Amino acid sequence: DIQMTQSPSSLSASVGDRVTITCQASRDIDNYLNWYQQKPGKAPKLLIYDASNLETGVPSRFSGSGSGTDFTFTISSLQPEDIATYYCQQYKDPYNDFGGGTKVEIK
Amino acid sequence: EEQLVESGGGLVKPGGSLRLSCAASGFTFIDAWMTWVRQAPGKGLEWLGRIKSKSDGETPDYAAPARGRFTISRDDSKNTLYLHMSSLKTDDTAVYYCSTEPAKLWGQGTLVTVSP
């Protein structure tokens, strides 16, 4: 199985700040990576697919980059409604493991 | 409207069995690959497995926690996905989600509690 290491596990930032989350795969996954947002008590929501493609309807302040083993998820200007936990997920391997998650809070 | 609705969760004793259902509507279920994901209380997401469409062989893949105890199946005539769980352990306590693959559509989740 491919292990996905996500960091940090939590962060606190101010409204308007640029927020960056990283995800590292234990081996090359090309660009087969999703990013999700999950708010408390809700199902995850797909934000980014194929490492850098924005899902329809998702605000443009969200972006993703990377390929191979190293990936980055960015919120260009943090908004109050962005408070959530974010997860990466690989789908190169048949077993589509998730990263451990990053909890984003407002400072 | 595209929708997934899980059901079948509840309280079960260790060693027991349970079958979860995921009813699909608003899209062509027969062509969809479907996935189960769970989330233990206060923990992260855990991918359990998938089943491919019938045209792609309807073969399941299972993550390590699900192999040997969980079975994913589908009834395309009923637009329904299933997760059969047996030999349940307290560690299986979680909210169980079904999703399409790619995971653009998710259900609301159903809570399974395994407790003596």
pLDDT tens-digit series, residues B58-85: 999 999 999 999 999 999 999 999 999 9
Q: B35: which chain A residues are within 8 Å (Cβ-Cβ)?
A: 96
Residue of B56, B111, B101 lying closest to B81 (CA atoms): B101
Residue B4 has pLDDT above 90, yes or no: yes
Q: Are A32 and A91 contacting, i.e. CB atoms less than 8 angstroms apart?
A: yes
- Burial class of residue B37, CB neighbours in 10 A (0-12, 13-18, 19+): buried
Q: Are B49 and B72 contacting, i.e. CB atoms less than 8 angstroms apart?
A: yes
Scored b (16 or more CB within 10 A) or e, A78-105 reads: beeebebbbbbbbbebebbbbbbbbebe
pLDDT value of residue B1:
95
pLDDT value of residue A94:
86
pLDDT digits (tens, 9 = 90+) for A18-73: 999 999 999 999 999 999 999 999 999 999 999 999 999 999 999 999 999 999 99
Reduce the DSSP state of residue A41 to 3 states and report it.
coil
Nearest CB neighbour to A44, from listed B50, B63, B106? B106
The upper half-sphere exposure of residue A98, i.e. CA atoms within 13 Å in the direction of its Cβ, equals 24
Q: Are B107 and B99 contacting, i.e. CB atoms less than 8 angstroms apart?
A: yes
Is the C-alpha dihedral spanning A28, A32, A35, A36 positive or negative?
negative
Q: Are A4 and A25 contacting, i.e. CB atoms less than 8 angstroms apart?
A: yes
pLDDT value of residue B108:
97
Is the C-alpha dihedral spanning A73, A20, B99, A99 positive or negative?
positive
Q: What mean pLDDT comes out for the span B109-116?
A: 98
Nearest CB neighbour to A43, from listed B35, B102, B108? B108
Rounded to whole angstroms, the Cα distance separating B112 from A62 reads: 33
CA-angle at A35, arms to A29 and A38, nearest 5°: 145
pLDDT value of residue A1:
84
Q: Which residues, 6 or more positions from A24, have their beta carbon under 8 angstroms from its beta carbon?
A: A4, A5, A6, A7, A69, A70, A71
Amino acid at position A26, single letter:
S
pLDDT value of residue A93:
84
Residue B105 has pLDDT above 90, yes or no: yes
Q: Is B97 on the interface with A (CB under 8 A)?
A: yes
pLDDT digits (tens, 9 = 90+) for B14-57: 999 999 999 999 999 999 999 999 999 999 999 999 999 999 99
From A9's Cα to the closest Cα of chain B, the distance in A is 11
pLDDT value of residue B40:
98
Q: Is B103 on the interface with A (CB under 8 A)?
A: yes
**Do B103 and A101 count as a contact with CB atoms less than 8 A apart?**
no
Q: Are A88 and A62 contacting, i.e. CB atoms less than 8 angstroms apart?
A: no
Q: Is B40 on the interface with A (CB under 8 A)?
A: no
| Residue-averaged pLDDT of chain B | 97
Q: B63: which chain A residues are within 8 Å (Cβ-Cβ)?
A: 1, 95, 97
Q: Is B60 on the interface with A (CB under 8 A)?
A: no
Q: Which residues, 6 or more positions from B87, have their beta carbon under 8 angstroms from its beta carbon?
A: B15, B17, B69
